[in-house]
Amino acid sequence: MKWMTMLMRRVARTLLLLLAVATATTALVRFAPGFFSDEREIDARYAQNAHRELQAAEAQNRSWSAIIVREVRGWMGGDLGQSRQFQVPVAELIAPRIGASANLLLRGILGGWLVAVCAALPGSAMRRGGHLWGLPFTLLLATPTAAMATACILTDAGGPVLVLTLLVAARDFKFLRLLLRQAWSAPHVLHGRAQGLTLPALFRTCIWPNAAPRLWALATLSIVTALAAMIPVEVIFNVPGIGQLAWSAVMNRDLPVLAAVSMLMAAAVALASLLSSRPHTLEAA
């Protein structure tokens, strides 16, 4: 029963997160300047009756609570609404772009973990010079995502996968280094080394069981980092993915598209957090 209670708590927390995302996204777009402007109102091709119909439709969108209720009701029924900008169902806009974004995120996260692990393994064994070893990753953290992407385009080197890889590696490196340093200095690991256990045996029996839960938590952080960087990366590199669609929705105040993309990203983060074995706090020196 304990695991069932924990599962119910996590599901309830996930639902609250999605509701908070829907509410915040709707509020930001609803109260943004120019939300009620419609270019069709100044188009002479529309008759006065059509103008009155447009104004009546806009009047229904003035109630913030009514917008949220309508959006949530549509999502529960499988209807994501219709794009205000493209005048097509939102599902038809999102579906073909999920593959491009998922491929970019997967390659960027796996590449970032590979770079972070390869750099953290020797860094965790250093007694001196650890801060100097991690200086490149610190500089990467201080560099804006858009600046990195622009530099790749100007130098004609790298691409969206490289930018995401470097960002994920920079974020994960210090946590992995600290985690490995603590693991190798643990008393039971020192005892195992004194008994003559090989490195694979030490990793399998002593290090991995203790490090695995924290690695799950770190994987969630990697997903959040990659999702945050996905929008500027896709816009600058012209990748036809979810991030580019979100940027277009923001620029055109397309509430149904923006709400659906926000919910999709929040669901990805919530699912990654739900799959974590148990909560852990990540602290880096």
CATH of the domain at 203: 1.10.3720.10
Residue 2: inside a domain, yes or no?
no
User: What's the chain's average pLDDT?
Assistant: 76
Residue 264: inside a domain, yes or no?
yes
Mean pLDDT, rounded, for 97-120: 91
* Higher-pLDDT residue of 77, 215: 215
pLDDT at 168: 92
Residue 52: inside a domain, yes or no?
no
pLDDT at 281: 47
User: Among the ranges 37-51, 109-123, 234-248, which has the highest mean pLDDT value?
Assistant: 234-248
Q: Which residues contact 175 (CB under 8 A, 6 or more apart)?
A: 218, 221, 282, 284
Cα 256 to Cα 46, 247, 282: the distances in Å are: 24, 13, 35
Q: 10 Å Cβ neighbour count for 85? A: 15
Q: 10 Å Cβ neighbour count for 131? A: 11
Residue 15: inside a domain, yes or no?
no
Q: Given the structure tokens 């020192």, which residue do they identify?
A: 190
Residue 175: inside a domain, yes or no?
yes
Q: Which residues contact 240 (CB under 8 A, 6 or more apart)?
A: 96, 97, 100, 234
* Tokens encoding 74: 């549509």
What pLDDT, in 10s, does the model give residues 155-191? 888 889 999 999 999 888 888 888 877 777 777 777 7
Q: How far apart are CA 263 and CA 149, in angstroms?
A: 26
- pLDDT > 70: percent of the chain: 72
Q: Which residues contact 38 (CB under 8 A, 6 or more apart)?
A: 54, 58
**66-75, 95-104, 275-284: which range is least confident on average?**
275-284
Residue 110: inside a domain, yes or no?
yes
Instruction: Using a cut of 0.85, tell me whether the model's pTM lies above it.
Output: no
Provide the 8-state DSSP code for 207: I
Mean pLDDT, rounded, for 201-224: 76
Mean pLDDT, rounded, for 209-229: 80
pLDDT at 56: 56
Domain extent for 200:
93-274
Q: Given the structure tokens 């669609």, which residue do they identify?
A: 245
* Residues forming beta bridges with residue 220, ordered by sequence position: none
Number of domains in the chain: 1
Residue 56: inside a domain, yes or no?
no
pLDDT at 39: 52
CB of 124 closer than 8 Å to CB of 177: yes
pLDDT at 208: 73
Q: With bands split at pLDDT 50, 70 and 90, how would you rate the model's confidence at 34? A: low
Exposed/middle/buried for residue 247 (C-beta within 10 Å: 0-12, 13-18, 19+): middle
CB of 263 closer than 8 Å to CB of 22: yes
Given a cut of 60, whether residue 284 has pLDDT beyond it is no
- Residue 83 Ramachandran class (φ > 0 left, ψ -120 to 50 alpha, else beta): beta
Residue 122: inside a domain, yes or no?
yes
Given a cut of 70, whether residue 255 has pLDDT beyond it is yes
Q: 10 Å Cβ neighbour count for 142? A: 9
